[in-house]
Amino acid sequence: MMFECERCGQCCRRVGRTILAGELALPDGSCRHLDKATNLCRIYAERPMICRVDDFYDAYLTTTLSREEFYRENKEICRRFQSEKI
């Protein structure tokens, strides 16, 4: 099972709002690797851990919540971001 991303780019436009953004965020809060014309990542194969939902879960959250709960929470956030498009 893998997290199904809708490739809307809304989470990438908000990366600057996270404590894990580091040097990823541009001044407008979007990820420096987001192609805003296509909503796709320009470094997808080498994207950082914060951007890899399944790998992030496996590395940090397996003892905290189930994968299904993590997916459900991510999908809810995704729906919220899509309704508040920036």
pLDDT tens profile 22-48: 889 999 999 999 999 999 999 999 999
Average pLDDT over residues 57-80: 95
Residue 43: closest CA among 74, 12, 20, 22? 12
DSSP structure class, residue 25: B
Query: How high is the pLDDT of residue 12?
Result: 94
Query: How high is the pLDDT of residue 18?
Result: 84
For the chain, give the mean pLDDT: 91
φ/ψ of 16, rounded to 5, equals -70, -15
Residue % of the chain over a pLDDT of 70: 100
